Amino acid sequence: MKREFLHALPIIHALEKEGYEAYFVGGSVRDLLLGREIHDVDIATSAPPEKVQAVFSKTADVGAAHGTIIVMYDGEPYEVTTFRTESGYEDFRRPETVRFVTSLKEDLKRRDFTMNAMAMDKDGNLHDYFDGQSAIREKKIKTVGRPEDRYTEDALRMLRALRFSSQLDFEITLDSLEAIKRLASLMKHISVERKLTEFDKLLKGKAASSALYLLQSSGLIDYMPGLAKGMHGWDSFVSRTLPASLGLSERWALLLFDLEADKPKEFLKKWKMPSKRIQQIHSIYLFLLKRLEKQWTDVMLYEAGAKTICLTEAICESQPDWIVKTGVEKAAADYNRLPIHSRADLNTNGNELVQTAGKEPGPWVAEALHAIELEVLEGRLHNSRNDIERWFLRWSNQTGM
Ligand code: ATP
Ligand code: MG
């Protein structure tokens, strides 16, 4: 058994000792069969949530009503979920209420795709009631049960089908694809947050281009914030080279670039991304635009900072038809050679300028600091206290500030 499962094995033993069943389920079992890296080893059990809480000393209740308890074991968090069925999907999305059941098979039946509906017991035996193994062998994404029924219950599963096809380079079965085309509009019931989680994984997948193509041809694209069928730039994005080394932020920046988004921040806000994430993607996008106009200047390098430089240059390097390349290494070396890397590196500060000028502080301080930064960066002024003071007094006289 692989290390990731061995580490969680005592949780299964502890539940079984109390007379319950417990199995590894879902993504980790699928990834084991695929030979993919395993993360998030989830456990399903016949024990009700309060029993799970009673058996383990360190737990967190993240959704006991849905049957999920986080068990901290040897420093690692594991999701332990009580066998359940999900009935009464009323709004074409995950149900608010669930019913706990005692059979593993019933629990597996509620899962989305056959490859995700397998369980493994403590001895490494597979419990595969829906033939997930064949699906994996044939590289097929198949719903557990009829596609129409499963997509109508929870419309997000349609987008999940596309993201798994992107991550695994699997084919979605024809009847599934047809159902997705018919039911695409149900996606309007799904929250932006859930769409973003899946779209991020789709964008990062190894077969992203074909999944992006499917997003448009299936009509799901119309329910993605800020995107729509036939929109300008989409086809260019679909045909982009997206090597594995290209991170998620760079991919989003390329999307903005191809769509020629006139309000890029507004577009990202529609996806309800955290503002730090929006800042980073937006900054890469802006420097990408500048960078395609001209080579890095020292001021551009300074304003972008090390991280944005590397990510922007990584995009340029990844695109075979873009000839304006500096290379991540050269750009980083040029950045390292700058005389200063932030305002804090200047051998002066606002207080000193106020004292030297003998004037009330005001907006002139920021302007003076900015002017000094530019002089130092462009090599006209040495970053020493005396030189800066002399330069500042002259500047102050000339500008009257
Ligand atoms: P990843 O490796 O990306 O985390 P995963 O298969 O673990 O993939 P999760 O979203 O973490 O995917 O979900 C865990 C498991 O829960 C899935 O393998 C599947 O069995 C089940 N599942 C998740 N979302 C749904 C859904 N919308 N409908 C039905 N079953 C689902
Ligand atoms: Mg998972």
pLDDT in tens, 2-55: 999 999 999 999 999 999 999 999 999 999 999 999 999 999 999 999 999 999
The partner residues of 69 in beta bridges, in order of sequence, read 61, 80
Helix or strand run (H / E) with residue 179: helix 174-183
Give the pLDDT confidence score for residue 88 in this predicted structure: 62
CATH number of 242-338: 1.20.58.560
| 109 — pLDDT class (breaks 50, 70, 90) | very high
Kindly list the domain boundaries of the chain, sorted by start residue.
1-138, 140-231, 242-338, 346-399
| 325 — pLDDT class (breaks 50, 70, 90) | confident
Both tokens assigned to 277: 């994430």
Would the pTM of this model clear 0.90, i.e. be above it? yes
- Predicted confidence (pLDDT) at residue 346 exceeds the cutoff of 90: yes
| Gap between the Cα atoms of 104 and 12, Å rounded | 14
Cβ-Cβ contacts under 8 Å for 316 (sequence gap 6 or more): 288, 291, 292, 322, 324, 325, 326
Ligand 2 centre distance from Cα of residue 42 (Å): 8
Q: What angle (nearest 5°) sits at the alpha carbon of residue 224, between those of residues 156 and 169?
A: 65
Give the pLDDT confidence score for residue 296 in this predicted structure: 94
Report the nearest-CA residue for atom 6 of ligand 1.
Answer: 27
Dihedral pair phi/psi, residue 23, rounded to 5°: -140, 155
From the alpha carbon of 111, which atom of ligand 1 is closest?
30
- Predicted confidence (pLDDT) at residue 324 exceeds the cutoff of 80: no
pLDDT in tens, 51-73: 999 999 999 999 888 999 999 99
Report yes or no for ipTM above 0.85: yes
Give the pLDDT confidence score for residue 396 in this predicted structure: 92
- Thinking of the domain 346-399, which architecture would CATH place it in? Orthogonal Bundle (1.10)
Mean pLDDT of the chain: 95
Pick the CATH number of 1-138 from 3.30.460.10, 3.30.465.10, 3.40.50.1220, 3.40.605.10: 3.30.460.10
Both tokens assigned to 365: 């301080």
pLDDT in tens, 260-285: 998 999 999 999 999 999 999 999 99
Whether 234 contacts 224, CB under 8 Å: no
What percent of the chain is modeled with pLDDT above 90?
91
Question: Relative to the alpha carbon of 163, which ligand is closest?
Answer: 1
Whether 198 contacts 159, CB under 8 Å: yes
Q: Which residues does a 6 A CB cutoff place in the pocket of ligand 1?
A: 26-27, 40, 111-112, 116-117, 154, 156-157, 201
Report the nearest-CA residue for atom 12 of ligand 1.
Answer: 27
- Predicted confidence (pLDDT) at residue 92 exceeds the cutoff of 80: no
Report the nearest-CA residue for atom 1 of ligand 1.
Answer: 27
What percent of the chain is modeled with pLDDT above 70?
98
The sign one gets for the Cα dihedral 53, 56, 57, 58 is: negative
Give the pLDDT confidence score for residue 89 in this predicted structure: 64
Q: Which amino acid is at 42?
A: D
* 154 labelled ligand-binding: yes
CATH number of 140-231: 1.10.110.30
